[in-house]
Structure 1
Amino acid sequence: MSLFLPDRRSVLAGAALLVPGVASAAARYDAVLWRGPGKPPVAAPTYASLSAAVAAAPANGTKPFRIFVARGVWDEQVVIDKPFVHLVGQDRKASVISHLAASGLTAPDGKRWGTFRTPTLFVRAPDFAARNLTIQNAFDGLAEMSKPGGLHSHDGGGPQAVALMLDKGSDRARFADVDLLSYQDTLFPDAGSSLFERCLVTGSYDFIFGAGQALFRDCEIRSRPRPVDPIDGYIVAPSTSIEQPVGFVFVKCRLTKEAGTKKGSVYLGRPWRPSSQFADGRYGDPKFQGATAFIDCWMDDHIAPAGWTEMWYTGKDGNPRTMLQPEDARFSQFNATGPGAAKFERGRWLSASEARAMTQVVLARL
């Protein structure tokens, strides 16, 4: 049985951004990324970097500031710290916002990047939107992990390389027809609400993770091989607060795989429990009870038959390998189909009414 979900795009602020044809030269733009030579593809003030274009946006804007991203690789690390910044690409595959940083690599300040400093694009303001472009972290995780002495650890010295982070201050972010590319920790929706439609997200370990509320609709979630490890990965690692009724919700998405990804080698997810400081020490905070649901999703045969699995955290006794089981999180599914669909005994099966209600919770915040 397939769950019918109403299309709420018409009620979203700036919904025109999601309509095909918006990226045409006839639309009005406030800025264009352009290096020349020749005439820019749209009539608007030109900027040689996305950071410069964002700096030109009003500090407290109340309507979209539209930036046209022309074809090219725009290599920079960018912070969106102003509301209503909207990016529209000229070409989904060829309008590329890119940066190379990985947790274990050395940053310009001489320190390791660490996971939380690696994102190519940080969003720290509400009502951001992006359409018809690519956001990538250019770090080649597979090549790095495959060479002797490469980055393999799961701490601050590992191959984590974030493409997009929805950071504190982000809310009501919207993405349509966007490719989000990396290898580990690709997409970090850590704050606010967000909507992803017809997007592609690629990665291997925990490549969609964080504490935010995000709805993925009609997206492709593509797992990449990780031959240096026994398994090829985990799709999600949510750290949802128990105060939030839902975390990540995937509706009518396709869970696909790159060549070389082994059968049954990718878990739907595992629960991430970050540590907090308490009077009696620093350890995994029990308020983080990750939440994810896959609803009406097609799954290829790389999905592990168990569906969900455990993840370690620092226990109250200081043990850094205390295991948090999926039964202690909020993992669920409804109407899984495809070669990888199974009983998924470690996740809860939703009723149709529960699945519908879960989706509406995220939509109501957008």
Structure 2
Amino acid sequence: MPTRRTALSLLTGAGATLALGAPAAHARPAHPRPFGRYGSPARRLDPRTLYVDAHGRGDHTDVQSAVDAATGAGHTVVIAAGVHRATLVVGAEHRDLTLVGASPDARDTVLVYDNAAGTPRPDGSGTLGTSGSASVTVKAAGFTARDLTFANDWLRSDNPEYTGAQAVAIKVQGDRSAFYGCRFLGHQDTLYADSPSLAVPARQYYRDCYAEGDVDFVFGRASAVFDRCHFRTLTRTDRTAAPHGFVFAPSTPGANPHGYLVVRSRVTSTAPDGYYKLARPWVPSSDPTAHPMLTVRESHLGAGIDASEPYGTMSSGFPWQDQRFAEHRNYGPGARVTVPANRPQLSAFEASAHTPARWLGDWRPRG
């Protein structure tokens, strides 16, 4: 089985495909219209649309330079298909920025890098840390992404000397951030759905997205809705016993009534049955008053989830039973209620307050 890095290195050409970490079966030749239905520099959709193509057919050859050029609010950056290997930072000044993959298949347009928390800083001042490992960091409010893959292909097996194995594909901090048809690939800490600070909440919406990983691979303190998303847990070759990891690790501030809401989604696995927990609470040292919140409702939980003990505890002083974890009308082998005390269930009345509209307030994402 090829490694993820091998798979990504095989993705060459404008039509390359990434399929769950496996190598592309073939690579199609470069398309004569690299930006598809989104126009081109010669036929720009509007003055605020910029084009990125590594082969020189756009305004820029890399995504960061295009984002930097998108001064002011409301720009769109269209990215030609291919593997774009570099880190990317979308600063707070780039409000209402949209990144779009030119292909309607998110597997064709990949933003990837391979830093980890334990990666040494270039200036020798220590290691990057979890946040510093992110392939993509989004600080801007009103950010939207469509049809893109965000990946971190750093591997534990390649770096056994590292103690920091967190390797973030994307860290999202901005309020009103929306992702449609996107993919998030990594192992530990893949998708960091966060906020700018403890005192500032951030609403985020993920629709028809795919995320994979092993340890806490969707985590952070955002008020995030995951609508019709697919979460896939991966086999770990460095562990022989359960658990291999956890899907969610929310760190919701105690004052925030809305943490993670998962609705009409599914969890599948490549690991043996019962080798994953659905979630564990993260109470970071920077916020000992955190009160992590997760609601999973009307979702299919596959056999990879430990049905009898679906939740775990990260820190002994903060057991999951003291947090805001709940389910409602889930189904599938991983959703069986075999030990009722281990699976808090919402009543129909309680569930009426756990909806995307309640989570997002006066913001209505444009689908």
User: In the alignment, what sits opposite 1:354?
Assistant: 350
Supply the distance in 2 between the matched residues of 1:257 and 1:356 (Cα, whole angstroms).
Answer: 30
CA distance in 2, matches of 1:79, 1:199: 21
Once the two structures are superposed, residues 334-355 of structure 1 have per-residue CA deviations (whole angstroms, 9 ceiling, x without a partner) of 1111121121632320122322
* Corresponding position: 1:166 with 2:166: no
Relative contact order higher in (CA < 8 Å, ≥ 6 apart): 1
Report the equivalent of 1:363.
Answer: 360
User: Which amino acid letter does the alignment assign opposite residue 311 of structure 1?
Assistant: M
SS in 2 for 1:357: coil
The one-letter amino acid paired with 2:147 is N
Q: Offset of 1:107 from its aligned partner? A: 3.0
Residue 308 of structure 1 aligns with which residue? 311
| Shift in Å, 1:70 | 0.3
Structure-2-length-normalised TM-score: 0.79
Q: Does 2:136 match 1:121?
A: yes
Q: Is the 8 A contact 1:23 1:88 kept in 2?
A: no
Deviation at 1:356, TM superposition (A): 3.1
Q: Gapped runs of 5+ residues in structure 1?
A: 1-21, 41-45, 152-156, 277-283, 313-321
Matches of residues 252-331 of structure 1 in structure 2 within 5 Å? 252-258=264-270, 261-276=271-286, 285=288, 287-305=289-307, 306-312=309-315, 322-331=316-325
Match of 2:52 in 1: 33
Distance 2:362 2:325 in 1: 21
Conserved in 1, the CA contact under 8 Å of 2:55 and 2:61? no
**Aligned counterpart, 1:11:** none
Give the Å deviation of 1:150.
Answer: 4.7
Alpha-carbon spacing, 1:365–1:248, altered in 2? closer, same or farther (3 Å) = farther
Over aligned residues, Cα RMSD in angstroms? 1.9
| Residue aligned with 2:358, SS | helix
Q: CA deviation at 1:144?
A: 3.8
Return the alpha-carbon distance in structure 1 between the equivalents of residues 229 and 351 of structure 2.
Answer: 17
The corresponding residue for 2:121 is 107
Cα shift at 1:25: 2.9
User: 1:101 and 1:109 mapped to 2: Cα distance?
Assistant: 15
Question: Cα deviations across residues 266-315 of structure 1 (Å, max 9, x unaligned)?
Answer: 11111111114xxxxxxx61x20100011101011010121111111xxx
- Alignment partner of 1:86 is 2:98: yes
Structure number having the greater strand percentage:
1
Cα shift readout 1:196-241 (whole Å, capped 9, x = no counterpart):
0000001100001111100000000010112423321101111101
Counterpart code for 2:63: L
Q: Which residue matches 2:12?
A: none
Equivalent residue in structure 2 for 1:246, among 258, 265, 283: 258
Percent of aligned pairs sharing the same letter? 28
Contact 1:234 1:266 in 2 (8 A): yes
Aligned to 1:17: none
Conserved? CA contact 1:68–1:89, under 8 Å: yes
**Within 5 Å, which residues of 2 pair with 1:169-188?**
170-188=174-192
For residues 229-259 of structure 1, the C-alpha deviation after alignment (integer angstroms, 9 at most, x for no partner) is: 332110111110111112010001010112x
Secondary structure in structure 1 of the residue aligned to 2:65: helix
Instruction: Count matched residues.
Output: 306
1:173 shift after superposition? 0.2
Gaps of 5+ in 2: 1-34, 196-201
Residues 193 and 220 in structure 2, CA contact (< 8 A), matched pair in contact too:
yes
CA contact (8 A) 1:86 1:130 kept: yes
Partner of 2:194: 190
1:116 match: secondary structure: helix
Q: Which piece of structure 1 moves more, 186-195 or 49-58?
A: 49-58
SS in structure 1 opposite 2:181? Answer: strand
CA contact (8 A) 1:326 1:346 kept: no
Counterpart for residue 37 of structure 2: 24
TM-score, normalisation: structure 1: 0.79
